[in-house]
Structure 1
């Protein structure tokens, strides 16, 4: 199992980002979370996730928001699973706490900790590569990527944005759209290997 813990960056100097993040993440992943994202302490949120692909997508969403230190814990969870993530126990929760603390010293602001340290490092590395790609994406790049998610064909997405197909192709290339999809698949696969280790 995976526990995601995210801590808002600079929360003493900035508005509370927790309500917006909870609403967006729980709406996006409502059917995919074992236990929904919830505020656990102060400006921290946490969720219990069973699928590695959901972890990767939620990490990408948090990276895009730019307001979060992100920790992923990989390990066991005590059963029966409680009704709320705040009551959860097990090594995945302990690892998530260590990961979010360590994330504050990492260049991408995210860390993975698990029972199998080499596997956790490999998972962290693939997530760093994805995060690096996403952090460099411009607003125009995000607009192009979002348009593709809504329609699927570049020509239709270009028309939706009121740009030429050639301009759309350039935006997607600069945004790393093709690499994004493959990086997410790879990160999910590597994370899953660590859970099975």
Structure 2
């Protein structure tokens, strides 16, 4: 499973924004969480997932909103899984704690730790996830406007009309924001994370 620990950056000099971030997680995941976000201490909260694609959706949304150190832990969770995130235990939560501590000291404010005994390790997955976050952090406001419209199902022609720009301008935004590879990168990362969530020697996930 995937445990995520999130800590607000610079909370001593900023308003408490934990509830806003919890809303981002809940809206993005749309009922696909194993355990919902729950404040664990001060300006920190945790949640639990079992789907790699949903994990990426949520992590990318949090990283885009800025102001958060995000630690992703990959590993087992003690069963039966409790009703409360605060009561949950297991390797996924231990590694998420280690990851969020590291995340506070890196520019992306994101780190990932895989528990021992998995099919893939931290070094196999973390660099690609953090590189993707870095690329998205460099995306311009105009690039995000186009990305959001395309994600909502609009064509590039429709996006041009909605944005009030020419198709040629949309093509330039699409290229500059590197939107051509968004879906492919997301799918590839989800496959890697699923492998990392599989114990060594287990059958390949369906």
> How far 1:51 moved relative to its partner?
0.5
Q: State yes or no: 1:91 paired with 2:94.
A: no
Q: State yes or no: 1:191 paired with 2:206.
A: no
Q: State yes or no: 1:103 paired with 2:103.
A: yes
> How far 1:187 moved relative to its partner?
1.5
Q: Which residue does the alignment assign to 2:204? A: none
In 2: Cα distance, 1:109 partner to 1:28 partner: 20
Structure 1: gaps (5+ residues): none
Q: Which residue does the alignment assign to 1:171? A: 173
Of 125, 133, 138 in structure 1, the residue corresponding to residue 127 of structure 2 is: 125
Please show how residues 19-98 of structure 1 align to structure 2 within 5 Å.
19-98=19-98
**CA displacement 1:91-134 (0-9 Å, x = unmatched):** 11111001100111223211111223862222111111110111
> How far 1:12 moved relative to its partner?
0.8
Q: Which residue does the alignment assign to 1:5? A: 5
Are the counterparts in 2 of residues 126 and 190 from structure 1 also a CA contact under 8 Å?
no
Q: Which residue does the alignment assign to 2:203? A: none
3-state secondary structure, aligned to 1:48: strand
Structure 2: gaps (5+ residues): 201-206
**CA displacement 1:11-55 (0-9 Å, x = unmatched):** 111111211111121022132100111211111121100011111
Superposition misfits of 4+ residues, deviation over 4 angstroms: none
In 1: Cα distance, 2:126 partner to 2:85 partner: 23
In 2: Cα distance, 1:33 partner to 1:145 partner: 24
Farther off after superposition, 185-194 or 3-12 = 185-194
> How far 1:163 moved relative to its partner?
1.0
> How far 1:158 moved relative to its partner?
1.1
Instruction: Calculate the aligned-residue CA RMSD, in Å.
Output: 1.4
In 1: Cα distance, 2:37 partner to 2:12 partner: 21
Of 174, 179, 183 in structure 2, the residue corresponding to residue 181 of structure 1 is: 183
